[in-house]
Amino acid sequence: MLSIKLQHTFEDFRLDVDFTAPPGLTVLFGSSGSGKTSIINAVAGLLRPDVGRVVLDGSTLLDTEAGEYVPPHRRKIGYVFQEGRLFPHLSVAANLIFGQRDEDSAGMDRIVDLLGISHLLDRQPNRLSGGEKQRVAIGRALISKPSLLLADEPLAALDEARKSEILPYFERLRDEIETPILYVSHSATEVARLATSVVALENGRVIGQGPAVKLLADSSVTPMGIRSVGAVLEGRVGEHLQDGLTELHAGNERLYVPRVEHEIGDVIRVRIPAHEVLLAMHEPHSISALNVFKGTIQGLQTTEDRGVVVTLETSAGAILSRVTQRSANSLGLELGATCFAIVKTVAIAPEDVGG
C-alpha cells in the first residue's frame, strides 16, 4: 500500500492531493499540467513538497511535519522515464547490470525473459528501436529490486506500433511481479488495459479514484475530455477466426474484435468508446455491425456538451453510448427501458484490446 498526501505551490500551479494506491498497477490519469509527474517526483524524492507525507508499505519516505526525509538513493524505487535514458557507451547487458544490487543471476534471467530482451543483450543502445530501449530501461529499473516502480508516461515518446509492442509487457509486469507500479498516463487506452486502480487528476486535485471500469464510465470524471468515456468489458478468448477476427465470450454474449495474439481461454479487456456505440429501441436486422447487445437502460447522464451518456446493462457487462439530446428525445430513452447497443467491430481499435 502506498499512501500519498502532498501540498506544493509552484509559480502558477498548486498541487493538493491525498490518496492511497493499492497493490497492483495504479494509473495517475490526467492531462498535461494536472500534477501527475509532480506526484511521482515527490514519491521518488526528486521534489520536496511544502507539506507532505509519503508512506510505502509502512515505511515513511517523507513526513514534513515530523521532519523525516529519505533521500532518493535510499528509497529503493525504480523510475522509468518517457525516454529510455540508457548509457550510450554500454551494451544492453551492461546497462542492465548497472542497476543490479546483487549477483542474483536467476532474478536477472527472469526479468530478461519477462521483457523478451535476451536477443538484445550484446547490442548498443543506438541499435535499438524506441520500444526496445524502453523494455531495457524497464528491465534496468526492475533488476535493482525496487519496492516500487514509477513509470512517467513511458509510451508517450513512441509511435502507435511501438506502443502496441510495449503494452503487453506492462500487462505481464502487472500480473507476474509483486512490485507495485505507479504509472502516469493521459491515455484512456492505457488506463483500460493496464490499471488495477485509477487516480484521476485535474488542476492538481484528485477528481476521482477507483477501478478503470468505474472511472472511464463516469462522464463527470473526464480529465481527458468526454471522448475518453467508455465501457471496459472482460471477455475470454473463444476462437480465432479465418476472416481475421477473434471471438470473445463476454458473459452470455459473443463479442467480435480485431484478431488478438492471446491464447484461447485467456481473459482480456476490451475498451469500447461511448461515442462509437449506436442505440436502437428494436432489435436490428440485416446490418453490417457484428456486435448487438440487448440490455436495460440503467443510467442517463447529461454532459456539458448537452449530450447524453446512456448506460446499458447487458449480459456482457455495462456498455455506454454517447448520443445527442435530440437522439435521446426521439428514441424516448428512459430508465428501465429495453434497448440495443450496436458496436461495429472495426470501431474497436486493436490497441484497445488486451490485458
Looking at the fold, whether 236 and 204 belong to one and the same domain comes out as: no
In a domain, 58, yes or no: yes
Q: Which residues contact 315 (CB under 8 A, 6 or more apart)?
A: 251, 252, 253, 293, 294, 295
> To the nearest whole number, what is the mean pLDDT of the chain?
91
pLDDT, residue 103, reads 64
**pLDDT over 70 (residue 40):** yes
Looking at the fold, whether 108 and 165 belong to one and the same domain comes out as: yes
Looking at the fold, whether 93 and 141 belong to one and the same domain comes out as: yes
Query: Which of 105-114, 141-150, 265-274, 334-343 has the lowest average pLDDT?
Result: 105-114
Q: What is the DSSP pairing of strand 51-56 with strand 317-324?
A: unpaired
In a domain, 224, yes or no: no
pLDDT, residue 62, reads 96
Looking at the fold, whether 186 and 249 belong to one and the same domain comes out as: no
Q: Which residues contact 114 (CB under 8 A, 6 or more apart)?
A: 169, 172, 173, 176, 177
pLDDT, residue 82, reads 82
DSSP, residue by residue, 8-34: EE-SS-EEEEEEEE-SSEEEEE--TTS
In a domain, 200, yes or no: yes
Looking at the fold, whether 119 and 201 belong to one and the same domain comes out as: yes
Of 171, 150, 122, nearest to 137 by C-alpha is: 150
Looking at the fold, whether 199 and 285 belong to one and the same domain comes out as: no
What is the CATH number for 75?
3.40.50.300
Looking at the fold, whether 43 and 76 belong to one and the same domain comes out as: yes
What is the CATH number for 334?
2.40.50.100
With H, G, I as helix, E, B as strand and everything else as coil, classify residue 205.
Answer: strand
Looking at the fold, whether 203 and 249 belong to one and the same domain comes out as: no
Looking at the fold, whether 205 and 237 belong to one and the same domain comes out as: no
pLDDT cut 70: percent of the chain above it: 98
Domain boundary residue, one of 213, 243, 260: 213
In a domain, 282, yes or no: yes
In a domain, 155, yes or no: yes
Q: Residues 2-6: what's their mean pLDDT?
A: 96
In a domain, 321, yes or no: yes
In a domain, 106, yes or no: yes
Looking at the fold, whether 62 and 128 belong to one and the same domain comes out as: yes
Looking at the fold, whether 196 and 242 belong to one and the same domain comes out as: no
Higher pLDDT, 145 or 276: 276
Looking at the fold, whether 161 and 26 belong to one and the same domain comes out as: yes
User: In the structure, what pLDDT confidence band is assigned to residue 60 with cuts at 50, 70 and 90?
Assistant: very high
Domain boundary residue, one of 149, 184, 213: 213
Query: Which of 51-55, 172-176, 225-229, 251-255 has the lowest average pLDDT?
Result: 225-229
For 227-267, what is each residue's pLDDT tens digit?
788 999 999 999 999 999 999 999 999 999 999 988 999 99
pLDDT, residue 6, reads 97
DSSP, residue by residue, 142-191: HHT--SEEEEESTTTTS-HHHHHHHHHHHHHHHHH--S-EEEEE--HHHH
Domain count, the chain: 2
Give the phi and the psi of residue 346 in degrees, each rounded to 5: -70, -10
- State the residue range of the domain holding 321: 231-354
In a domain, 220, yes or no: no
With H, G, I as helix, E, B as strand and everything else as coil, classify residue 234.
Answer: strand
Domain boundary residue, one of 183, 213, 243: 213
